[in-house]
């Protein structure tokens, strides 16, 4: 009789073809030294594109406040604004791990509030994990969420929900603040966070935190030594207007592509070229 074959632990991308990526896959990837990308999505169509492009983790970020709802910060967005977007992203994907950002004011007041909000994102929208901003001040919430079976991703450095305290969107963790950030990161890992986003911190600090933590770090404006990288997809693809922070690469100029498409179509409608006979039903 053949010996039973031990199931092999699939790699992050290998596993994504058969089943959803899980936070355990992210942990194993860190242990193998395998880097991975996380991208934002807010609707089913783009989420499906990213899923089919083998992006293993999709974040329904509260950046939706700006890129979907047109606010100038993440402060005003609510749970009711984000739930339908998360539901659409979950519906549009088959393989990626879906992370839902908990919006400002939906978890800070205590453990019960955090549990209520996070449960809604898992039960009503199909998210698999939640992301929360802050370090030691929200440890009880993180610990309780993990104890309840909800994977948590932390977020340190430039935490946009605290922009009014930070005094603007600026690099964080310089000088002595770096030690505080390191303590926050270690504390989050200790209470069971699955990963930590490091936003706008010096590259050397992000490298040190990454080397000190047993869990993956996900950088945005944090240099090249984090375990993963995250970007807002409209920034990556050149849809957002105006000057961008220096860490934002432009892999495409979708603003120009869309502008050309609608301008050409508009001209064709005006001069009667569209619709032609090939667009009409006999
Ligand atoms: O809301 C968001 O998109 C984020 C990422 C930029 C990390 O928090």
Q: Cα(130)–Cα(127) distance, rounded to whole angstroms?
A: 7
Residue 277 and residue 282: Cα distance in Å, rounded?
Answer: 9
Distance CA 31, CA 148 (A): 25
How far does residue 62's CA lie from ligand 1's centre (Å)? Answer: 6
pLDDT band at 3 (very low <50, low <70, confident <90, very high): low
Is a pLDDT exceeding 70 seen at residue 1?
A: no
Above 70 in pLDDT, residue 195? yes
Q: In the chain, what percentage of residues exceed pLDDT 70?
A: 94
Can you list the domains of the chain with their CATH numbers?
23-251 (3.20.20.60), 253-282 (no CATH)
Report how far ligand 1's centroid is from the alpha carbon of 5 (Å).
41
| Radius of gyration of the chain, Cα coordinates, nearest whole angstrom | 21
Burial zone of 152 (CB within 10 Å; 0-12 exposed, 13-18 middle, 19+ buried): buried
Mean pLDDT of 169-198: 96
- Res 88 pLDDT > 70: yes
Average pLDDT, the chain: 94
Smallest CA separation from ligand 1 atom 2, residue: 61
What pLDDT, on a 0 to 100 scale, did the predictor assign at position 18?
77
Shortest-distance atom of ligand 1 to CA 133: 8
Which atom of ligand 1 is nearest the CA belonging to 101? 1
Q: How far is CA 142 from the centre of its chain?
A: 17
- If you take atom 1 of ligand 1, which residue's CA is the nearest one? 61
């Amino acid at each position: 009789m053949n010996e039973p074959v031990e199931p092999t632990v699939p790699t992050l991308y290998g596993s994504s073809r058969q089943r959803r990526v899980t936070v355990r896959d992210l942990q194993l990837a860190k242990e193998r030294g395998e880097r991975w990308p996380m991208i934002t999505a807010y609707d089913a169509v783009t989420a499906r594109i990213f899923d089919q492009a083998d992006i293993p983790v999709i974040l329904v970020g509260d950046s939706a406040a700006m890129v979907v709802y047109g606010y100038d910060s993440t402060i005003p967005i609510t749970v009711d604004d984000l739930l339908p977007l998360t539901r659409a992203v979950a519906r549009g994907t088959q393989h990626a791990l879906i992370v839902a950002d908990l919006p400002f004011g939906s978890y800070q007041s205590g453990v019960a509030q955090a549990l209520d909000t996070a449960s809604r994102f898992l039960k009503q929208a199909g998210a698999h994990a939640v992301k929360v901003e802050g370090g030691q001040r929200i440890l009880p919430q993180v610990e309780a969420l993990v104890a309840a079976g909800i994977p948590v991703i932390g977020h340190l450095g430039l935490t946009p929900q605290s922009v009014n305290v930070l005094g603007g969107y600026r690099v964080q963790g310089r000088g002595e603040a770096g030690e505080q950030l390191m303590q926050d990161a270690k504390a989050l890992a200790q209470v069971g966070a699955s990963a930590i986003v490091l936003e706008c911190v010096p590259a050397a600090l992000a490298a040190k935190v990454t080397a000190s933590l047993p869990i993956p770090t996900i950088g945005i404006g944090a240099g090249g030594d984090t375990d993963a990288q995250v970007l807002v997809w409209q920034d990556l693809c050149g849809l957002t207007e105006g000057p961008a922070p220096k860490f934002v690469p432009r892999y495409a100029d979708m603003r120009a592509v869309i502008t050309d498409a609608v301008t050409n179509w508009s001209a064709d409608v005006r001069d009667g070229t569209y619709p032609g006979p090939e667009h009409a039903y006999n």
